[in-house]
Structure 1
Amino acid sequence: MNYEVLAQQVLDGYQLTDTEALAILKSPDEDLLPLLHSAYKIRNYYYGNKVKLNMIINTKSGLCPENCGYCSQSIISKAPIEKYAMMKQDEIVAGADRAASLNVGTYCIVASGRGPVNREIDIVVDSVKAIKEKHSDMTICACLGILKPEQAQKLKEAGVDRYNHNINTSANHHENITTSHTYDDRVRTVELAKEAGISPCSGVIVGMRETQQDVIAMARSLYALDADSIPVNFLNAVDGTPLEGTHELNPRYCLKVLCLFRFINPSKEIRVSGGREVNLGTLQPLSLYPANSIFLGDYLTTEGQAGEKDRQMLEDLGFEVDLEPLQHELKVN
């Protein structure tokens, strides 16, 4: 396969066939550099050498009634994690201050649980208003679980720019990962965010015993959802969860997955996310040829790479931190 020709076709509006998508995932390792070069051609067309920095604050940890098999915070997890109720406003605002001091463009307010109660929505609303007064150009992303329409509207009015709710896996594989909510529940929340005028963020976790056809289906589903931002996580199997001991990935396959997501979602922000450190290892810098976004610092209950190393990685690559505020035009049905 001539990946560079395929990349140009994608830039001209072409959509990959399943045969071409599968060929990317199954490509021999000796094709990895040409594949990365071609994915970078698409990424560079839309984003140049800029990289968006994101930072997470875990405002509520554990205490979740859902049975997601990958998650250390779920009701079925035996992982020894810190558990606490919703943080106070001053703690959330302080996290935003720290993100701003590190030139992080997107601040992600995350809370565990099936969905937020109104008291938690009120805390987030008040926090976002306070943050926007101090850091007007900061993009605020909320990730609070399954939303109700009126909650989505409150978040929009407060100044939330983006809402994250990952599909996590394919519709076909979903019941193998969780049964306490449906795949359609997740899709509906992304659509609710869009209807409220909030930029949709939705992504996946690769390495949860899915097939390569499932991976292709995930990328296509996010294309259909028109998600503006796509975090691609690679399973960091936590001891005490049902997926404990699952290690299906290698760095080269992870890079092929990122290239596939760039080919199928050419114009979207693609973020190499949780698990990049343990799954990509020394090949982490190569992930930014197809992807154009990373998390700085720690994740929810697992550690990330030290911020100094991430910044050195960007400098060594010759990449530039993207400080532009979020600009988007949502197509509301």
Structure 2
Amino acid sequence: MQYFLDLALKTAQGYILTDAEQKTLLELPYQETYRLFPGAELLRRNFCADKIKICAITNAKSGRCSEDCAFCAQSAHHNTSISRYPLKAPGQMSLEGRNMASQGVTRFSLVTSGKGLEAEEVQQVCQVIRELASQGISPCASLGVLHKEQLQDLKDAGLNRYHHNLETAPGFFPSICTTHDYSQRTDTVRLARNTGLSVCSGAVFGLGESDVHVLELALVLKELAVDAVPVNFLVPIPGTPLENNDQLTPLRCLKIICILRYMLPRQEIIICGGRLENLGELHPLVFMAGASGLMTGNYLTRQGRGVAEDMQMITDLGLEPA
């Protein structure tokens, strides 16, 4: 335990783990994940204090996506039983954002299915962004692949963060998606950063990747200098190619969070979809593993947990919703 705490102490001062130290981190058995907690918590407190960021989303446009991501219920390539609908009306999206803000959520994201949006749809989102920003809500958007001019329009409307997941490590991505390549994802992240937006980019874990892939992904996110890392754990969806995947355990989930915190000490690490289903009774330990944020409320195609329950858990742990 002292070995990993010493690594964290050095990392907090700007030290970069060597290849050998990264290997030691990866090779730690899952049943010994607790040995990583003191260092992970030290890093979280050093860079994020005891303030836990709370965000929420709306599934603003659902289904019929042209891409074939193997885990995704919204892909048109898979036969799933989700609701499918076009872009919600701006008034409805704004109302959802205000409702979340009234419960203490400070960041609200508009998430749309599909490879990207048409010009008219981007302008509708801009309308919502202006409304949310005027209410003191930090607006975020996850709209797929956009052009520089579209990202600039969103920024001018008040958007301060763009979300675009990498989904997994580059070495594993071809096993998950065949309709576009990894560079399209990283190029979108770079374009959002170059537009002056804060960037949120992470992955879904439990797709069949190894811990080596977790490390590979962390190194890519580090190189991209993302600001926040959303961590999703797979909940297998009937009708998708991964409907029978069940490779996660609570301890592996916690180790993944620890690896990300040791490798990305300064970033927000936000625990999102699949946290309850995969962590079970160990769910509150995500903060000891280094998490500094939660996505609360419902997810894209699945019901989540109530805001009040998440707020109470954070307070009970002696932490502070931020």
TM-score bucket (shorter structure): over 0.9
The count of aligned residue pairs is 320
Once residues 123 and 39 of structure 2 are traced to their aligned partners in structure 1, the CA distance between those partners, rounded to angstroms, is 45
Residues in 1 aligned to 2:279 and 2:255: alpha-carbon distance in whole angstroms = 11
Displacement of 1:315:
1.7
- What percentage of residue pairs aligned between the two structures are identical? 37
Q: Distance in 2 between matches of 1:308 and 1:184?
A: 39
Structure 2 residue runs of 5 or longer lacking an equivalent are none
Aligned position for 2:308: 308
Matched residue SS, 2:139: strand
Distance verdict in 2 for CA 1:282–1:31, change over 3 Å = same
Give the alignment of 1:85-234 within 5 angstroms.
85-133=86-134, 135-136=135-136, 138-234=137-233
Residue number in structure 1 paired with 2:54: 53
SS at the partner of 1:87? Answer: coil
CA contact under 8 A between 2:152 and 2:195: conserved in structure 1? yes
**Is the contact between residue 202 and residue 229 of structure 1 (CA under 8 Å) also seen in structure 2?**
yes
Instruction: Please give the per-residue CA displacement for 1:91-139, whole angstroms capped at 9, x wherever unaligned.
Output: 0110111111011011011000001111110110011112222x22x21
* Secondary structure of the corresponding residue to residue 286 of structure 2: helix
Cα distance in structure 1, aligned partners of 2:155 and 2:227: 16
The superposition leaves residues 2-61 of structure 1 with CA deviations (integer Å, 9 ceiling, x where unpaired) of 111000111121122343334334323553333111100010011111100000101100
Alpha carbons of structure 1 residues 320 and 44: separation in structure 2 relative to 1, 3 Å: same
Q: CA RMSD in A?
A: 1.2
Q: Which runs of 5+ in 1 are unaligned?
A: 323-333
3-state SS of the aligned residue for 1:153?
A: helix
SS at match of 2:170: coil
Shift in alpha-carbon separation, 1:29–1:207, aligned structure 2, 3 A: closer
Q: Distance in 2 between matches of 1:164 and 1:22?
A: 30
Q: Is the 8 A contact 1:194 1:200 kept in 2?
A: yes
Per-residue deviation, residues 174-219 of structure 1 (Å, max 9, x unmatched): 1111111111000111111111111011001111111221111001
2:262 counterpart residue number: 263
- CA–CA distance in 2 between the matches of 1:302 and 1:17? 40
Query: C-alpha distance in 1, partners of 2:70/2:157?
Result: 33
**AA partner of residue 105 (structure 1):** T
Report the Cα distance in structure 1 between the residues aligned to 2:101 and 2:20, rounded to whole angstroms: 44
Superposition pairs for residues 249-328 of structure 1, below 5 Å? 249-289=248-288, 290-322=290-322
Distance apart, 1:231 and its partner CA:
0.4
SS in 1 for 2:302: coil
Instruction: Please report how far the alpha carbon of residue 236 of structure 1 lies from its aligned counterpart in structure 2 after TM superposition.
Output: 1.0
Query: Secondary structure at the residue paired with 2:124?
Result: helix
SS class of match (2:239): coil
Matched, 1:76 2:77: yes
Distance 1:60 1:303 in 2: 16
Aligned-partner SS, 2:291: coil
Report 1:225-244 matches (<5 A): 225-244=224-243
Distance 1:239 1:22, change over 3 A: farther
CA contact (8 A) 2:211 2:256 kept: no
Could you say if the C-alpha distance between residues 28 and 176 of structure 1 is closer, same or farther in structure 2, counting changes exceeding 3 Å? closer
- SS of residue matched to 2:244: coil
In 2, Cα distance between the equivalents of 1:168 and 1:209? 12
